[in-house]
Structure 1
Amino acid sequence: MILVFGGTTEGRIAVSTLDEGEGGYFYSTLSDAQEIECAHGTRISGSMSADSMLSFCKQHGIRIIVDAAHPFATRLHDTVAVTADRLAIPVIRLERLPADCESDHIIPCSDFNDAIGKMRHDGVTRLLALTGVNTISPLKPFWEKRETFFRILDREDSVKKALDAGFPTSRLIYYRPDDTPRLISELHPNAIITKESGASGGFAEKVQAAIQHNILIYVVRRPPLPKSFITVEGTHGLRRAIERLLPQFYPLHTGFTTGSCATAAAKAALIALLTGEKRTEITFRIPEGERMAMSVKSVETRDEDATATVIKDAGDDPDVTDKSEISARVAFARHEGIRFSGGEGIGIVTLPGLGLEVGEAAINPVPRRMITEELTALYAGGLDVTISLKGGAELAARTFNPRVGISGGVSIIGTSGIVRPFSHEAFVESLCREMNVAIAMGCRPIVVNSGAKSEKFLKKLFPALPPQGFIHYGNAIGEIMTISRDLGVESLVIGILIGKAVKLAEGHIDTHSHKTTFNRDFLLNVARECGCSQEASVAISGMNIARELWSILSPSDAEMFFQEILRRCHEQCARIYPGNLESILLSDDGSIFYSSRSYLSRESNKSTK
């Protein structure tokens, strides 16, 4: 069993991550104020002393504690540390992602006493405090003599705490979302004080408001955590930590993409080149912002270059590059910026449509960006980066690369940095679990999409939907429709990228490249049947991969062609799932999409005439 301490945004992330597993867990909050559904967990509330926490862990066989509580909940952190030490239980600290903002307006403070001293020294006389009701007492030496407004939650217990501390009710302000700019405009403080709350605490928005009104913002740094805690920053880090500490909790384990491996290797090589240090573990950030860690197999240095090698861990995904050696050679260069090249086992792009120039090494844009961000943070000069994958030429023959115009090796890929397991039977079971969670959470609609890329686009269309409402179907479109039908899902949205859409439109409900391939003749028939021009047929005859369709068709042909493709996709899905279904065709950059609502509306209008 796992015990989670939450009550925060990170608590919700923990619940969402744990509900993907098969094990049980407890979700503990101080009060019942947070509304949250735990599909596989038991909700508990109330304060725990060291003795009661110790007793609870013994009674329920707790194997891992996840501390997802507020960064400033120091008493809880200390109690967790004492309990974990006595019972030899590992603690995973789900920490908040740092807010990406720097400004001369920020005055860092080690604690509230430090903040009081700095505000007095700087002559602050009118303060807006955004630090919460529990900080009224620590800041009393300041607000007793200087005009201070406190923003607190509009709850009876919060008001009572403020009154008990002797704070005047006339200067209490009740929290409203995104109201910091308005409060500054109305109250005219000459400073703000807040906690280093991180991205989920709205820290960046507070800093921006202070900059906009040209006032100082005093930031109380997070208190240090116990050194024994294992710190992670999001769902991927949390899941991988649990997979390592309690392997049976998840039936299948995640892994790293080749892009993440190349990033870790390149960073290890540059550190060795700059400092001579040969690290055995490297931290780096994946595209979602989480900091991850990866072991380094070896590092070799010379005067002007260094090479580091990592071992690809694909988890339980049947990836042909699993356990391969991925190396990065980094060398000083006279040119500006970073130039990439492919070494042993890395393919060359021979056809357009892959987002890379013909003749370039098959190192995709997202891994290039990951590597660039990590290396430029360490070194401002020019660098040459060469990525290699041992045995890549032989492995490429077992992939789809030759069909899409990548010759001589594999691709360095990955849009999320993380590989999720796709063993088909277990994957379908995981789809059922995720769908059940979405239903339990009351998600409406439920949005199904092929992976991280399409999910990113769809989240912009459904910003109010919680993370549990988005489910990745991979290639199992038929299975996700069947699951949705059998579980009685009332409203479903399916997002489809063009590569899978042309296969689904032809009637293939499993779009894996091993099961079905790109069919040019089918697309020519579609173009003719929907009235596209002869130029469209000529363009389709010369194409090599589906994503070229976005660029080779004229606007008028594209409108007819993509609507027809989507109509056929919608019909294939509707044959299985009879509920309220919307189908959305997404372009590769998410800027263009066609929805089934448009043609369904036209068909309805026709039937009433």
Structure 2
Amino acid sequence: MILVFGGTTEGRKTVAELEEAGNPFFYSTKQGEQDIALLHGIPLCGAMPENDMIAFCRSHSIRLIIDAAHPFAAHLHHTIARVSRQLHLPVIRYERIYPPRNPAILWVADYDEAIRMLTDKNKTVKRVLSTCGVQSISRLQPLKQRGIRLWFRILPRQSSMALAYEQGACDEELCYYPSPSDAERSTTEDDMALFERLHPDVVLVKESGESGGFEDKTRAALSLGIRVMAIKRPVMPEGFLTVNGEHGLRRMVEHVLPEFYPLHSGLTTGTCATAAALAACFRLLKDECPTSVPVILPNEETIPVDVLYHNDGASVIKDSGDDPDVTNGLEIQASVIQTRGEQHENIIIKGGKGVGTITLPGFDSPVGESAINRVPREMIRDNILAHFPDAHLVVTISIPQGEEIARRTFNPRLGIVGGISVVGVSGIIKPFSKAGFLDSIKKCMQVAKASGCDRVVINSGAKSERFVKVYYPALPSQVFVEYGNYIGDTIRMASELHFPQVTLGVMLGKAVKLAAGNLDTHSKKSVMDKSFILDMLREAQCDDTVIRKAEHITLARELWKIVPESQLQRFAEVVIKYCASHCESLLPHGQLTILLIDEDGNIYHS
């Protein structure tokens, strides 16, 4: 069993990752006030002193502890460390992502140093706003005794307000975040409005990381000319296995407790290429050959990737986990050479042997370029510049067996010749058989139902989900469910769970397949029916010029550029009409809303 200490955004993300395994785990919070839906997780509420924690771990056969608690919960962190040493339990610390320390901010070690600095006789501080939480109220009372006006920003929870009064705060000293949630407590606009109203001389903050809104608060204060004082985060105990994102968390759990997940995750070719390129840079520019390199993924978390070295650079052996991927086991190589900085870009990325070449339009790169998608290119460039900001390099990615393997993929049909593509959006492969994927969808739908919301929003993946979340900003995150390719099965689940309202967010590639009657849009099950697309264009009253251009498309998303802007809404309505004709019968007692999303996130509806 796994024991998680949460109550934070990181705790929420931990739950989301562990729920995918379908196995039970314990989720502990001090107050029990976090609004979170648990399907397989077992909630625990209340403080857990050291002896109680030891007894609990022994009696419930705990084999792994995940510390996803607030970074300033120092007492809890050290209790977990002592328990782990006594019971020989591994601890994964889900750490936050922290920006570099801004020299415009005054950094202090603790509250005592903050008080000394704020009451220095040379200071002219008269008004202080603390955003350090309700626990800071008693710690900062000496400032009030020195005649400094104090305000405390806290969560609008009954427990927080009661504790604030216990510590001596009065109503005029309290101001509140917009929401009682631990996530997305405020926006920069909220912060600026509060700071402008109070006009403090100093805003006191904790180094709470990106998920704690640290940059929003400090940016707002500094932009208004308000001084910022920040309390540095405590140092974590030694021996914790640190991750700073959900992908790294899953991979660490798979490593420490391999049986927890039925299927294990893997790395995309883009991540492998990035790691190989970064290792080649360490070798060339620093004469170092680390056995693993830290790769920053698109969601800004960092994971370690093992690397090898050869005469021309470095390489990574691709591990696809349990995903049935034909590229599993391939060697992804990278070589780098320095240039004189004469080229337009600092980092030039090229494809070598085994990397395909694009011969048809409709991809991230133009015809003639190597088939290295936009996200992997950005990953390679960003990771190199993070370590070598002044570097001017040409990076060549090669996959020796790529041309042979490409024959077993859809690349030839898509006009990519000479090898495979270097792809990946998240940087991580999550493996699912159809049965496993559908089971995962079902679990997510059940969690969405447990949220109490009347609407579930189903979407194909991270990109479409990002856009529909903007469309429904007030809905909780657990009602957004990915269907992958299984649109029909997911709508049937929504019907079985008696959702009165279902929104289907779909991008054009899947939409044209669905409009033609394909409820499973996987490329192995269905392909784009070009003649049907032409019929839909005619029904939308597009002229012959549009029809002729559409006859030569390789990917459906090219239609967004072919159809004139004045006719896009009408074309979208035709596509949505046919999609609805195949889906509405699957939801006989509910209302189905279909949103068609273009590549820029614009949303069309009927």
Q: Do the two structures share a fold, i.e. TM-score over 0.5?
A: yes
The answer on whether the counterparts of 2:203 and 2:227 sit within 8 Å (CA) in structure 1 is yes
After superposition, give the CA deviation of every residue in 1:273-332 in whole Å (9 maximum; x if it has no partner): 221111111112211121222111x1246xxxx611112122222111112111111221
Taking the TM superposition and a 5 Å limit, the aligned residue runs for 1:375-386 are 375-379=384-388, 380-386=390-396
Taking the TM superposition and a 5 Å limit, the aligned residue runs for 1:332-481 are 332-334=338-340, 335=343, 336-379=345-388, 380-481=390-491
Aligned partner letter, 1:131: C
Taking the TM superposition and a 5 Å limit, the aligned residue runs for 1:321-340 are 321-334=327-340, 335=343, 336-340=345-349
Task: State the 1:224 CA deviation.
Answer: 0.7
**Counterpart in the other structure of 2:565:** 555
CA distance in 1: counterparts of 2:442 and 2:49, whole angstroms: 38
Task: State the 1:532 CA deviation.
Answer: 2.4
Task: State the 1:41 CA deviation.
Answer: 1.6
**Counterpart in the other structure of 2:110:** 111
CA distance in 2: counterparts of 1:491 and 1:64, whole angstroms: 39
Alignment partner of 1:309 is 2:291: no
Task: State the 1:111 CA deviation.
Answer: 2.2
Task: State the 1:156 CA deviation.
Answer: 5.9
Aligned partner letter, 2:315: T
Task: State the 1:196 CA deviation.
Answer: 0.3
CA distance in 2: counterparts of 1:355 and 1:117, whole angstroms: 55
CA distance in 2: counterparts of 1:180 and 1:496, whole angstroms: 35
**Counterpart in the other structure of 2:246:** 235
The answer on whether the counterparts of 2:119 and 2:146 sit within 8 Å (CA) in structure 1 is no
Distance 1:124 1:87, change over 3 A: farther
Task: State the 1:117 CA deviation.
Answer: 3.5
**Counterpart in the other structure of 1:134:** 135
Aligned partner letter, 2:129: L
Task: State the 1:106 CA deviation.
Answer: 0.9
CA distance in 1: counterparts of 2:538 and 2:194, whole angstroms: 61
1:97 aligns to what SS in structure 2? coil
The answer on whether the counterparts of 1:253 and 1:316 sit within 8 Å (CA) in structure 2 is yes
**Counterpart in the other structure of 1:604:** none
Aligned partner letter, 2:95: E
Deviates more, 1:359-368 or 1:476-485: 476-485
Task: State the 1:225 CA deviation.
Answer: 0.7
Aligned partner letter, 1:118: M
Alignment partner of 1:247 is 2:247: no
Task: State the 1:185 CA deviation.
Answer: 2.3
Task: State the 1:164 CA deviation.
Answer: 5.5
The answer on whether the counterparts of 1:284 and 1:293 sit within 8 Å (CA) in structure 2 is yes
Taking the TM superposition and a 5 Å limit, the aligned residue runs for 1:570-589 are 570-578=580-588, 579-589=590-600
**Counterpart in the other structure of 1:22:** 22
CA distance in 2: counterparts of 1:159 and 1:545, whole angstroms: 56
Distance 1:536 1:226, change over 3 A: same
Distance 1:141 1:588, change over 3 A: same
Aligned partner letter, 2:105: I
CA distance in 1: counterparts of 2:447 and 2:541, whole angstroms: 44
The answer on whether the counterparts of 1:532 and 1:560 sit within 8 Å (CA) in structure 2 is no
**Counterpart in the other structure of 2:533:** 523
Gap regions ≥5 residues in structure 2: 179-185
Aligned partner letter, 2:377: R
Task: State the 1:144 CA deviation.
Answer: 2.7
1:136 aligns to what SS in structure 2? helix
How many equivalent pairs are there?
A: 588
Alignment partner of 1:205 is 2:216: yes
Taking the TM superposition and a 5 Å limit, the aligned residue runs for 1:499-538 are 499-538=509-548
Distance 1:555 1:180, change over 3 A: closer
CA distance in 1: counterparts of 2:196 and 2:252, whole angstroms: 45
2:97 aligns to what SS in structure 1? coil
Gap regions ≥5 residues in structure 1: 599-609
Distance 1:170 1:300, change over 3 A: same
Task: State the 1:347 CA deviation.
Answer: 0.4
2:354 aligns to what SS in structure 1? coil
**Counterpart in the other structure of 2:274:** 263
Percent identity over paired residues:
44
Deviates more, 1:174-183 or 1:71-80: 174-183
Task: State the 1:58 CA deviation.
Answer: 0.5
Aligned partner letter, 2:16: S
Task: State the 1:246 CA deviation.
Answer: 2.0
CA distance in 1: counterparts of 2:552 and 2:454, whole angstroms: 42
CA distance in 1: counterparts of 2:206 and 2:28, whole angstroms: 23
After superposition, give the CA deviation of every residue in 1:526-558 in whole Å (9 maximum; x if it has no partner): 223343212222111222221211111223443
1:571 aligns to what SS in structure 2? helix
CA distance in 2: counterparts of 1:485 and 1:343, whole angstroms: 50
After superposition, give the CA deviation of every residue in 1:478-501 in whole Å (9 maximum; x if it has no partner): 222222223323221111111111
CA distance in 2: counterparts of 1:51 and 1:480, whole angstroms: 46
After superposition, give the CA deviation of every residue in 1:239-295 in whole Å (9 maximum; x if it has no partner): 222222222322222222111111111111112222111111111221112122211
Distance 1:524 1:383, change over 3 A: same
**Counterpart in the other structure of 2:173:** 172
Aligned partner letter, 2:371: A
The answer on whether the counterparts of 1:28 and 1:43 sit within 8 Å (CA) in structure 2 is yes
The answer on whether the counterparts of 1:105 and 1:215 sit within 8 Å (CA) in structure 2 is no
Task: State the 1:35 CA deviation.
Answer: 2.9
Distance 1:143 1:331, change over 3 A: farther
TM-score w.r.t. structure 1 length? Answer: 0.92
Q: Kindly report the root-mean-square deviation, in angstroms, between the aligned alpha carbons of the 2 structures.
A: 2.1
CA distance in 1: counterparts of 2:279 and 2:14, whole angstroms: 30
Distance 1:344 1:35, change over 3 A: same
TM-score w.r.t. structure 2 length? Answer: 0.92
CA distance in 2: counterparts of 1:133 and 1:593, whole angstroms: 42
CA distance in 1: counterparts of 2:540 and 2:156, whole angstroms: 59
Alignment partner of 1:225 is 2:236: yes
1:133 aligns to what SS in structure 2? coil
The answer on whether the counterparts of 1:124 and 1:191 sit within 8 Å (CA) in structure 2 is no
Alignment partner of 1:13 is 2:13: yes
Task: State the 1:157 CA deviation.
Answer: 5.1
2:135 aligns to what SS in structure 1? helix
